[in-house]
Amino acid sequence: MKKRKLVLSTGNQHKVEEIKNILEGLSIEVVSKKDVGLGELDVVEDGYTLEENSLKKAKALAEELDYMVLADDSGLFVDILNGEPGVYSSRYAGEEGNDVKNNNKLLHELKDISLNKRGAKFKTVIVLITENKEIIVVSGECAGKIGFELKGKNGFGYDPLFIPEGYNETFAELGEEVKNKISHRAKALENLKEALKNILEVS
């Protein structure tokens, strides 16, 4: 039986591999937008919520393809900063994807704040659009706190600062194997896996 294609709205190979690993065992072939010749398709993420951004990216891809498509958006929401950086996580310091500047800005915003007031959560929203343009939205979150300094060499983004609940190390110290079991994206993908199982069974 031919596997159905699932096209991801990302050029981030790290994310592609992570999603492939978590969805392993399903009768689908996971590929990136670059793999189907749409690597240049860029969408301005100007939504006010993670869901708006995910939906916008997924719809742009679905308009070009007859395959299932998937887009996600993630953010770090810090309690004492009223949910900042939130939807602006990847450009918190003003420059898209500059992890060093973003982490430094966050540390600066939280200086003199004690550990018990540094609560935060990572959230991911995933939008899947099926071949017949049905829209499925799932989400996942991981609670924790923000450390006082960058620790660990693994991961990306705010991973060297984020200490998940139940652990004393940051995501960057815990490494990929642990992160892929407990992270916001892992939880969202587990929810997606259930939705995909239903879709595959029905058809």
pLDDT tens digit string along 107-159? 999 999 999 999 999 999 999 999 999 999 999 999 999 999 999 998 889 99
Catalytic residue status for 99: no
Q: How confident is the model at residue 24 (pLDDT cuts 50, 70, 90)?
A: confident
The mean pLDDT value for 157-186 works out to: 94
pLDDT of residue 156: 87
Binding-site residues for Mg(2+), in ranges, read: 73
Considering the segment(s) 4-202 as one domain, its CATH architecture is Alpha-Beta Complex (3.90)
Percentage of the chain beyond pLDDT 70 is 99
**The model scores a pTM over 0.85:** yes
Q: Check pLDDT > 90 for residue 83.
A: yes
Binding-site residues for substrate, in ranges, read: 10-15, 74, 156-159, 179, 184-185
Binding-site residues, in ranges, read: 10-15, 73-74, 156-159, 179, 184-185
Q: Is 100 exposed, middle or buried (0-12, 13-18, 19+ CB in 10 A)?
A: exposed
pLDDT of residue 1: 60
Which residues lie closer than 8 Å to 62 by C-beta, 6 or more apart? 69, 129, 133
Identify the top-confidence range among 13-22, 122-131, 178-187. Answer: 122-131
pLDDT of residue 199: 86
Please tell me the chain's helix, strand, coil percentages from 3-state DSSP, rounded to the nearest 5.
Answer: 40, 25, 40
pLDDT of residue 202: 78
Q: How confident is the model at residue 15 (pLDDT cuts 50, 70, 90)?
A: confident
Would you kindly state where each structural domain of the chain is located, as residue ranges?
A: 4-202
Residue found under tokens 């770090």: 76
Q: Check pLDDT > 80 for residue 2.
A: no
Identify the active-site residue in 42, 73, 79, 112: 73
